Amino acid sequence: MNDSPLTLMAVHAHPDDEATGTGGVLARYAAEGVRTVLVTCTDGGCGDGPGGVKPGDPGHDPAAVARMRREELAASCDVLKIGHLEMLDYADSGMMGWPTNDAPGSFWRTPVEEGAARLAELLTRYRPDVVVTYDENGFYGHPDHIQANRITMAALEMTDLTPKVYWTTAPRSMMQRFGEVMREFGGEAPEPDPAEAAALAEIGLPDDEITTWVDTSAFGGQKFDALAAHASQGENIFFLKLGQEKFTELMGVETFVRVQDATGAPVPENDLFAGLR
């Protein structure tokens, strides 16, 4: 018998990504005695500064933002009871097309083999049974999310490990409901241009293509509080406006696509560790 604890490793791009996409599973599995490991690839320096100042605006200090976000990340990890935090500390690349994509030290311009080798060391150290990261498009095309997918899949090939591997996603039915809630809580919003609307329509997957639906509603409070720990980031404010009850109603199930599996567990499944316990 293997006495090592079951281990979940989540590979994320920025501080706060752990809360929005996987806060529920991280909290749930920690409560079940699973060892949880969070790898955060960038320093988050392209996030909002104090007072909501944006990258490139006067007064935005990426180094200061990175320090602030590191403190917020530590607080989020405490809320979610994450057992181990590993930071690769690459420079935040910003959104696709920003000059920061090609800045020295940015995650986006880091050779995949370099990032993968560093992650492979962590995989070998922790030997996770389950690995979670983004899909090949980084869910919505963010360069650092795409790079996180690339280094994760490359790192796995550098090891002898055969964990179950999942990519985060969202069902189209939930994305539709999310849009309704945004209008309900945000008032009238301008109509997006056709290209933007088409891009939004492609986010997530049809419900029947999702392999894994994990009920994390019992941990909605922890997920909400973890996101609140990152309240400096303006994009999180909308979720916090919902209040814990509505937030949990909307985000109390986390969904994934299983892309690697040696257990033969049937899908659809409701447990990332199906076939392992």
Distance CA 269, CA 210 (A): 9
Distance CA 190, CA 181 (A): 15
Distance CA 27, CA 270 (A): 16
Tokens of 175: 């994305």
Tokens of 96: 């696709």
Tokens of 161: 């490990």
Distance CA 129, CA 244 (A): 31
- At 191-222, the pLDDT tens digits run 555 655 555 567 788 899 999 999 999 999 99
Work out the mean pLDDT of the chain and round it to a whole number.
91
Dihedral over Cα of 53, 223, 123, 209: its sign: negative
| Listed range (150-154, 243-247, 263-267) with the worst mean pLDDT | 243-247
- pTM (2 decimals)? 0.92
- At 8-52, the pLDDT tens digits run 999 999 999 999 989 999 999 999 999 999 999 999 999 999 888
